[in-house]
Amino acid sequence: MNFRTPLTHGYLIKRYKRFLADIRLDNGRIVTAHCTNPGSMKSCVDVYISESAGSHRRTKYTWEMIKINDDW
């Protein structure tokens, strides 16, 4: 897959308000990312997020990839 910006690895901390997720990055920083899937995602732990340069967004990051059962 090709993405416009480099992806950053992190771990899901929690989901809330249907489309938001708190992600702990590998460097320890916690960010809020937009998640386009409103489902439960309880089995998701490893995630990759991208950073958006758009100032019109409520969140700076977008959840791009998840790891489920050892598959991305």
What's the confidence (pLDDT) of residue 11? 92
Structure confidence at residue 67 as a pLDDT band (50, 70, 90) = confident
- The structure tokens listed for 40 are 């439960």
> Average pLDDT over the chain, rounded to whole?
82
- The structure tokens listed for 52 are 């958006």
CA 66 from chain center: how many Å?
8
**Predicted structure pTM score:** 0.77
- 21-54 CB burial, b ≥16 within 10 A, e <16: bebeeeeeeebbbbbeeeeebeebeebbbbebee
Beta strands in 1-72 (DSSP E): 7-16, 20-25, 30-34, 46-51, 61-66
pLDDT at 30 over 90: yes
